[in-house]
Structure 1
Amino acid sequence: MAAHDSVSSRSSSTASQEVRTVALDEIDRRVLNLLQQDARMPNNALAAAVGIAPSTCLARVRTLRAAGVIRGFHAEVDPAALGRGLQAMVAVRMQSGARNRLSAFAQRLAARSEVLDLYFLAGADDFLVHVAVEDSDALREFVLEQLSAFPEVALTETSLIFEHIRTSSARSR
C-alpha cells in the first residue's frame, strides 16, 4: 500500500475533521472487497484469495487500519431479532436558529436506542435518521413525543422501510 497522498483539514459547523487520501493498489482493493463481504475471513484465506503471502496480507491489513481506511469490524445484528421489527427513515429539518447546536443535537439523537444510523445532510433536510422500533405505536411515540420534542426540530417526515437490502458497503474500484 502506498503512503498517504495528502492529509488536509477542514472544518464544518458540527466538528473539525481530518480528511485523508490514501493511494490503494489493486491488491489493497481486493483485500478490502473481500473483508467487506466477510470481515471474519481468516488471514490465510484472505492472503490466498488475493495471491500474496499471509505475512504480507497481515501487514497490508494493519496498514489499512492504521491509515483509517478500515475503521472497524462489526457484527450486523437483525433488529427484528431484538423485538424491533419496524424500521423507518426520518428526515429532520432544524429550526433556522439551531444551526450552532447541530453537533449537540446529533450527539443526543445518536445516543437514543431507537437510532441505528444518523446522517448529516446537505439540502432541504438537515438529518436523516434510520430507526428501528417495535411497532407503529413505538414509531409514532418516537417521532411525535421524542424527536419533535427537541426545540431545535422544525419538521419531520417519516418513510417506512419495507426491506433493507445490504450491499457490501463502498466497494473499492
Structure 2
Amino acid sequence: MSPAEAAREMELDRFDRQLLNLVQEDAGQTAEQLAGRVALSPSAIQRRLKRLRAQGTIGRDIAVVDPERVGPCTVFIASLTVERERPDLMAAVRRWLLAEPRIQQIYYVTGEADFVVVLSAPDVAAYNALMSRLLAECPGATRFATSVALDVVKRGLTIPIPD
C-alpha cells in the first residue's frame, strides 16, 4: 500500500467520527442501536467498525468494571524515577511495568520523574509489596513518590473526536 493509500485509509469521515464517539461511550451497542443514532444501515456500521479495528483506530473493546463491586480497591498514582544513563535499565523497567496486571496506565513523562503510573491495589500493604518487588527486580528504578486517590471523581479513557 502506498503512503497516499494509507493516508486515505486513515482519514475519518463524519460517520466514522460519530461511531468512534458512540462506541467510546458504550462498546457493547449493537449495529442496530448504533444505526439508530448514525444515519447508516447496520451493515454499513459493521463494515466501518471492522475497518476501524483492522487499521488500529479502535485498539480494543473492554469492559469497565465497577471496583466497589469486586472487592477493596485503592487507586495509587506513582511517579517513578529510573537511572537514565542506562537504556537497558529503562527498557527493563518498561517491561516490568507492562507485565504487572495491577498497573492500569503508564505514562513516560518529562520532568523530575520518568514514568507516572496509575495502579490499583486492595490496600496500602499490597501497594508497598508491589513497589518493593519493583525496586528489587528492576535495579534501574531508583525511587518513587506516591499519591493515594481519596475519591475517583472521573474515570475514563475517552478521546473526544470532533464531528
TM-score range, shorter chain: 0.7 to 0.9
The answer as to whether partners of 2:73 and 2:123 remain within 8 angstroms in 1 is yes
Structure 1 distance, partners of 2:67, 2:95, is 21
Counterpart of 1:42, as a letter, is T
Aligned to 2:160: 171
Deviation at 1:69, TM superposition (A): 0.3
Aligned to 2:23: 35
In structure 2, the CA distance between the partners of 1:72 and 1:38, relative to structure 1 (3 Å rule), is same
Normalization by structure 2: what TM-score? Answer: 0.84
2:90 matches 1:88: no
3-state SS, counterpart of residue 44 of structure 1? helix
User: Which structure is higher in RCO with an 8 Å CA cutoff and minimum separation 6?
Assistant: 2
With 102-111 and 83-92 compared, the bigger mean Cα shift is at 102-111
- Cα distance in 1 for residues equivalent to 2:73 and 2:90: 29
Say which structure is richer in strand: 1
The CA distance in 2 between the partners of 1:138 and 1:79, in whole Å, is 16
Which of the residues 120, 130, 133 maps onto 1:146? Answer: 133
Greater helix share, structure number: 2
Q: Secondary structure at the match of 1:5?
A: helix
Superposition deviation, residue 139 in structure 1: 2.0
**What's the CA shift string for 1:40-72, capped at 9, x where partnerless?**
000011012111111111111111111110111
> Are 1:148 and 1:156, in contact at CA under 8 Å, matched by a contact in 2?
no
**Could you tell me which residue of structure 1 aligns to residue 56 of structure 2?**
68
Residue in 1 aligned with 2:143? Answer: 155
The letter for the 1-side match of 2:107 is Y
Secondary structure, in 3 states, of the residue corresponding to 2:12? Answer: coil
Amino acid at match of 2:133: Q
Q: Runs ≥4 in structure 1, deviation > 4 angstroms?
A: none
- The residue type paired with residue 161 of structure 2 is S
Q: Does structure 1 residue 5 correspond to structure 2 residue 7?
A: yes
Identify unmatched segments of 5+ residues in structure 1: 7-20
Moved more, 112-121 or 42-51: 112-121
What TM-score does the superposition give when structure 1 sets the normalisation length? 0.80
| Gap change, CA 1:103 and 1:82, over 3 Å in 2 | farther
Q: Is the 8 A contact 2:72 2:122 kept in 1?
A: yes
Distance in 1 (alpha carbons) for counterparts of 2:40 and 2:101: 42
Quote how far apart the aligned CAs of 1:84 are: 4.2
Unaligned 5+ segments in structure 2 are none
Q: Does 1:114 align with 2:102?
A: yes
Q: CA deviation at 1:168?
A: 5.8
Contact 1:116 1:130 in 2 (8 A): yes
